[in-house]
């Protein structure tokens, strides 16, 4: 049957093709991108700004990457981050949602509100996870978030105050949803012992995730701080990234926040977006299996060329974790993480692996310049999978953690769009097919 379906497709393939020349003829931007790679502007925002280039004399000029949350540059936020705390992500949530940094009293009230929503609805764990484990964690998360709709008496109320409360509730419950989705899958499909820990109201989101995930509940302060840092750098990335735009498009129809969030999670699942961190980790594991923690630049560059020539790894021709749609000279998220990664790598006795990551990054930059004369940098996905692995977080949870971190960004843009745009997102497409007459069945060849 599958072969027959594909045969149907092939029979009409030639007539259905859209030549590249038509995109230029009708000035259609593939992927909502201009010819120089810059994004087509589709909205205005005060939440976050992603800077990787400047327009000078009508030409695109690459600059060092910067990421702003409500006008504050990421490095400045991280430099002001207290080394004693593990709730920096909660502070960033407040900033993104309300537009200003909280004082101590406001921070305390906000954290208390978040933590009051940690608990899942009655019987949710049993009915949505233990009785219905899923084969794919991301799909299971979508189903769980959508199920929360049924427990909400005001599920279809899209008023700003209600949307805000609903979004906070989803965010607060996601650590439990992520962990239980993973554990129930292991128990059902891999016959592993099931150990369930409930969320603790005295812990931050980062701490709770480690607490619930580990059988002995134990984690170090450094581990919690680094996970907290990862949540911070993934919290938002402007209104144009795929999952955030998906969220806004769906919300613009006037539907409930659960539907909008589930759509964004679906967008995040793809390997070209949130799933990239898993691809990076898998690629580097394949590279290390092939050449070990090689110190010879020529050997590493040769293997990178093989990847680009589609002769090694997955045949895509992509060096995962290198390059970004906006950042060229540097990804500030990657740079921010690296000093913290080195500290953890020393603690975990994995400096050889970290040093190889650095060599691979340098070689990838060199190869891309030699082959295409373009400058690229490592993006946040290049190192995040390595960090998650050092934290003992399984690969299947890499992308779900991205979902957890980015939920606050989705919520902030959802609300901003409701307040200041309010129109249904409805771009146009140009029909380029042929006009035909209907032929009755009995007259068809």
Contact criterion met (CB below 8 Å) for 68 and 74: yes
Task: State how far Cα 324 lies from the chain centre.
Answer: 13
Cα distance from N-terminal residue to C-terminal residue, the chain: 22
Q: In whole angstroms, what is the distance from residue 208 CA to residue 290 CA?
A: 37
Answer for the pair 294, 249: CB distance below 8 angstroms, yes or no. no
- DSSP string for residues in 173-236: HHHHHHHHHHHHHHHHHH-PPP---PPPTTS-HHHHHHHHHSTT----HHHHHHHHHHHHHTS-
Q: Give catalytic status of residue 381 as yes or no.
A: yes
* Residue from 157, 273, 314, 421 carrying the catalytic annotation: 273
Catalytic residue at 197? no
Given 228, 236, 331, 381, the catalytic residue: 381
CA-CA distance, 165 to 291, in Å (whole number)? 51
Distance CA 385, CA 245 (A): 24
Query: Catalytic annotation on 236?
Result: no
For residue 40, give the DSSP letter.
P
Cα–Cα distance list, 247 to 2, 142, 244 (Å): 33, 13, 5
Six token digits for residue 117: 């929503």
Nearest one of 228, 215, 225 to 344, comparing CA atoms: 225
Interacting residues of 256 by C-beta distance below 8 A, sequence separation 6+: 149, 155, 156, 158
Q: Which of 322, 344, 357 is nearest to 227 (CA)?
A: 344
User: Residue with structure tokens 């280039």?
Assistant: 53
3-class DSSP assignment, residue 109: helix
Enter the tokens of residue 43: 């909205």
Q: Which residue in 152, 228, 234, 324 is the catalytic one?
A: 324
User: How many separate helices (H) and strands (E) can be counted in the chain?
Assistant: 18, 3
Residue 273, φ and ψ in degrees, nearest 5: -130, -110
SS3 sequence, 76-105?
Answer: HHHHCCCCCCCCHHHHHHHHHHHCCCCCHH
The candidate with the shortest Cα–Cα distance to 206, out of 229, 236, 183, 233, is 229
Q: Annotated active-site positions, please?
A: 273, 324, 381
């Amino acid at each position: 049957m599958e072969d027959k379906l594909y045969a149907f497709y092939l029979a009409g393939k030639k007539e259905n093709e859209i030549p590249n020349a038509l995109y230029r003829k009708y000035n259609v931007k593939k992927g909502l991108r201009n010819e120089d790679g810059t994004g087509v502007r589709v909205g205005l925002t005060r939440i976050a700004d992603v800077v990787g280039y400047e327009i000078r004399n009508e030409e695109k000029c690459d600059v060092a990457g910067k990421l702003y949350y409500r006008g504050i540059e990421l490095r400045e936020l991280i430099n002001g981050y207290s080394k004693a705390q593990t709730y920096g992500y909660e502070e960033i949530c407040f900033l993104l949602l309300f537009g200003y940094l909280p004082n101590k009293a406001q921070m305390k009230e906000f954290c208390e509100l978040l933590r009051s929503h940690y608990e899942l609805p009655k019987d949710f764990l049993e009915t949505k996870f233990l009785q219905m484990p899923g084969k794919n964690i991301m799909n299971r998360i979508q189903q769980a978030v959508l199920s929360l709709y049924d427990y909400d008496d005001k599920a279809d109320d899209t008023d700003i105050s209600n949307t805000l409360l609903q979004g906070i509730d989803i965010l607060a419950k996601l650590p439990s949803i992520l962990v239980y989705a993973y554990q129930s899958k292991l128990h059902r499909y891999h016959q592993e012992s099931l150990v369930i820990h409930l969320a603790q109201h005295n812990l931050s989101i980062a701490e709770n995730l480690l607490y619930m995930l580990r059988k002995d509940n134990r984690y170090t302060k450094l581990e919690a701080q680094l996970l907290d840092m990862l949540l911070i750098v993934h919290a938002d990335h402007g209104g144009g990234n795929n999952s955030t735009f998906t969220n806004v498009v769906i919300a613009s129809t006037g539907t409930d926040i659960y539907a909008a969030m589930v759509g964004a999670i679906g967008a995040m699942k793809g390997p070209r977006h949130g799933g990239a961190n898993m691809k990076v980790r898998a690629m580097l594991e394949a590279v290390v299996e092939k050449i070990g923690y090689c110190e010879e630049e020529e050997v590493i560059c040769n293997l990178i060329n093989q990847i680009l020539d589609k002769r090694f790894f997955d045949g895509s021709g992509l060096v995962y974790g290198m390059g970004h749609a906006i950042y060229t000279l540097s990804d500030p998220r990657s740079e921010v993480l690296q000093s913290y990664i080195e500290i953890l790598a020393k603690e975990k006795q994995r400096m050889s692996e970290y040093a190889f990551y650095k060599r691979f990054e340098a070689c990838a930059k060199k190869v891309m310049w030699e082959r295409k004369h373009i400058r690229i940098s490592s993006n946040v996905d290049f190192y995040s999978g390595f960090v998650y692995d050092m934290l003992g977080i399984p690969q299947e949870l890499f992308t779900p953690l991205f979902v957890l971190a980015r939920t606050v960004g989705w919520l902030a843009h959802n609300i901003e769009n409701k307040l200041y745009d309010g129109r249904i997102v409805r771009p146009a497409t140009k029909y380029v097919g042929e006009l035909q007459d209907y032929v009755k069945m009995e007259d068809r060849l």
